[in-house]
Amino acid sequence: MHGLSAIYLPATNYNRIINLLYNPPLGAINYLRCAHIVVLDQRYSYRTQINDTLYTFYNNLYIDGGGEETRMVILSTKEVNESDIHDIYFDMFSMGDIDAIFVAPKNNVLTVYNWFPFGRDGFDCPESNNEVEVLDKWENGRFSNGRALFPKKVPKLFKGCKMKVSVALYDPLMVLDKEGRPYDGVEYRIIKIIAERLGLEIEFVSHNRADGWVWSDGKTVHGAAVDVLRGTVWMMASAGTNTEHSYHCTIVSSPYMTGDIAWFFQDPEAVPTWKLIYMGFDGLLWTLVILTIIIFALVIYFIAKFDKNTISLDSISSCILASWSFNLGTSSISFPSSDVIRLVIAAYLLYTMHIDLAYTGALTGLITTGRQESEITNYHQILEKKIRTGAMSYLRYLLMYIDDPLVMKVVHDNFQIEDMEEAFETMEKYRNISILDNSIYMLNKIKTKRYKVYQSELNIGTFYFGIEMRRNHFLEERIASLSSKIFESGISDQIVDNFTTILKTSQKMMNLNAYTLKDLAGPFFALFLGQALAVLVFLGELINYYLPRYLH
């Protein structure tokens, strides 16, 4: 039979097995045509054979890229008790394979078993629900019951069984409490929805590291991605934010793929920034600007009043110089002063005024040079404008730094890499997937297989989230379906908007790296605090100077 392979055939009588393999019923022909047959040797422990021979072979299937279509038929030449069947099936499930059957002789007939490992180690269910089901019996060249030989026997609800999820922790996607247990975050909320629909409890395996997906200690490779590949967890929660050490791009998780997809866009049509000036200055920024100007004017006024006793346009330049000398603690005013306070204020104001001048200049540069911002805010516009895009696996990018050929080959063969056409098809299919950041630029030049991605002038921070599993995991299809429904319903967008609003606001307020007009709120706020502090110290010194004279 084409595609049939045998792993091990012991030197024993297996005529009945041969009859099953080469004279299967019609319902089993299509399955057995691409099945791998494993015959267990009765001379050795079944568990030992599973842990050694079968485990090694099963991993090699993934390395060779054949894991997706692997179907396992485990044959025994002797009668096997239920506990041994449990152990054999559990090892198959630990590798994520539900599409396997166990065939063993019993009462001179071949009996086909199917089993779901409720209550076994690794599934950690509240109560033991071990189920061994006799699917059919092979007698006289046919199955007596005529049932389906390989049903996908996966429960609809798991009644509180635990699902292990490996995570790399990045705020605000995964948030931990002091004891290291995840309790909130965008990624956590979405996975919680999926777990509730399946009746599963979540057990997180956390890697609280910046490189928590994959890292090496010099001896072996660790990380969330490695946990998935080795089958020690069911899924990986690939939540994260970009840092200066990773490529800057907008990431969109495709809900029906086993892996995050990074979408790289070429520079689209844009509009000059100066057209957006009136929108850039929101109410808070205008308030800070006005207060800063007033405070600065008050400083000049007091200095001019006490140094020159006059205010005029002719003396404005000397007033400005006087304000700088005041900030430096070298004013000619003969008032008592605290040198320490003056030095601290001088250093702070030098810094804030430097920021103010630098970003005011940057603002002028934005207006005069006409830097461009994208009109594209969602993927619908990308489809309408037919902007070229490419995609690559984030995991592959991370693993470029890991010197482990075996792990890299496993990732290469088991995580999908989409090309442009497939990317568009996916985006068209799930029309409610939205780009999580309104910017679709990149900082670095990256080349995909076909298209060059242009360098962006904007340094943006983006975030993404997604679910990754081994392709043939028995829950992959069901979880993928739930994920797609979550995306289609818009729940994920609501979670993201709700959870990140405060974070984005606080970052923009105190961000001293101004790349857009709104980012200037931070520098102006810092300058306002410095000038306000300077005026308070100045007034305090005036009170300290005049109050004793007034009292006397």
**Structural domains of the chain, with CATH:** 5-143 (no CATH), 161-269+376-508 (3.40.190.10), 273-371+521-551 (no CATH)
End-to-end CA distance of the chain: 114
Question: Of 101, 121, 124, nearest to 111 (Cα)?
Answer: 101
Tens of pLDDT, residue by residue over 379-410, are 445 445 554 443 333 333 333 334 445 444 54
Q: What is the pLDDT of residue 323?
A: 52
Q: Using the 8-state DSSP alphabet, how is residue 313 labeled?
A: G
Environment class of 491 (CB within 10 Å of its CB; exposed 0-12, middle 13-18, buried 19+): middle
d(CA 117, CA 178): 34
Q: Residue 169 above 60 pLDDT?
A: yes
Q: What is the pLDDT of residue 482?
A: 77
Q: What is the pLDDT of residue 355?
A: 55
191 pLDDT tier (thresholds 50, 70, 90): confident
Q: What is the pLDDT of residue 204?
A: 81
Tens of pLDDT, residue by residue over 259-272, are 333 333 443 444 44
237 pLDDT tier (thresholds 50, 70, 90): confident
Which of the listed ranges 238-242, 281-285, 470-474, 514-518 does the model predict with the highest average pLDDT? 470-474
Residue range 484-496: average pLDDT? 63
List Cα–Cα distances, 15 to 23, 44, 78, in angstroms: 12, 20, 12
Asked if 372 and 273 count as a contact pair (C-beta separation under 8 A), the reply is: yes
Tokens in use for 351? 């810094």
pTM score > 0.75 for this model? no
Q: Using the 8-state DSSP alphabet, how is residue 519 labeled?
A: G
Give the sign of the dihedral formed by CA 374, CA 378, CA 384, CA 390: positive
Asked if 377 and 438 count as a contact pair (C-beta separation under 8 A), the reply is: yes
Q: Residue 419 above 50 pLDDT?
A: no
Question: Of 260, 256, 259, nearest to 488 (Cα)?
Answer: 256
Q: What is the pLDDT of residue 507?
A: 40
d(CA 545, CA 479): 74
Tens of pLDDT, residue by residue over 275-317, are 333 334 445 555 666 666 676 666 656 655 655 445 554 444 4
- By three-state DSSP, how is residue 71 classified? strand
Q: Residue 172, preceding bond cis, omega within 30 degrees?
A: yes
Tens of pLDDT, residue by residue over 214-234, are 676 666 667 777 777 666 787
84 pLDDT tier (thresholds 50, 70, 90): confident
Q: Which spans in 222-282 are helix H?
A: 224-230, 277-280
Q: Which residue has the higher pLDDT, 428 or 52?
A: 52
Question: Of 175, 64, 174, nearest to 413 (Cα)?
Answer: 64
75 pLDDT tier (thresholds 50, 70, 90): confident
List Cα–Cα distances, 79 to 31, 107, 508, in angstroms: 24, 8, 69
Residue range 420-448: average pLDDT? 34
Q: What is the mean pLDDT of the chain?
A: 55
Q: What is the pLDDT of residue 110?
A: 56
d(CA 471, CA 62): 10
158 pLDDT tier (thresholds 50, 70, 90): confident
Q: What is the pLDDT of residue 79?
A: 74
Q: Residue 249 above 60 pLDDT?
A: no
Q: What is the pLDDT of residue 81?
A: 74
Which long-range contacts does 478-483 make (Cβ < 8 Å, 24+ apart)? 478/154, 478/198, 479/194, 479/198, 479/235, 480/255, 480/256, 480/258, 482/193, 482/194, 482/197, 482/198, 483/190, 483/194, 483/255, 483/256
Q: Residue 207 above 70 pLDDT?
A: yes
Residue range 97-106: average pLDDT? 64
Q: Residue 445 above 80 pLDDT?
A: no
What percent helix, strand, coil does the chain show, rounded to 5? 45, 20, 40
Q: What is the pLDDT of residue 177?
A: 62
Least confidently predicted of 53-57, 392-396, 479-483, 538-542: 392-396
**Residue type at 70?**
T
Tokens in use for 374? 């994208």
d(CA 258, CA 143): 37
What count of other Cβ atoms lies within 10 Å of the Cβ of residue 231?
20
Pairing of strands 35-40, 5-6: parallel
List Cα–Cα distances, 252 to 87, 453, 464, in angstroms: 40, 16, 6
Q: Using the 8-state DSSP alphabet, how is residue 156 labeled?
A: S
Q: What is the pLDDT of residue 202?
A: 85
Q: What is the pLDDT of residue 396?
A: 36
d(CA 211, CA 213): 6
Buried b / exposed e along 448-461 (16+ C-beta atoms within 10 A): beeeebeebeeebe
- Percent of the chain, pLDDT > 90? 0
d(CA 533, CA 295): 10
List Cα–Cα distances, 5 to 34, 47, 395, in angstroms: 8, 21, 32
Asked if 439 and 207 count as a contact pair (C-beta separation under 8 A), the reply is: no
Phi, psi dihedrals of residue 483, rounded to the nearest 5°: -60, -45
Q: Which spans in 161-261 are helix H?
A: 186-198, 224-230
Least confidently predicted of 6-10, 22-26, 327-331: 6-10
d(CA 113, CA 131): 10
Q: What is the pLDDT of residue 538?
A: 63
- By three-state DSSP, how is residue 38 classified? strand
Which of the listed ranges 109-123, 429-443, 499-513 does the model predict with the highest average pLDDT? 109-123
Q: What is the pLDDT of residue 203?
A: 84
Asked if 105 and 79 count as a contact pair (C-beta separation under 8 A), the reply is: yes
What count of other Cβ atoms lies within 10 Å of the Cβ of residue 412?
16
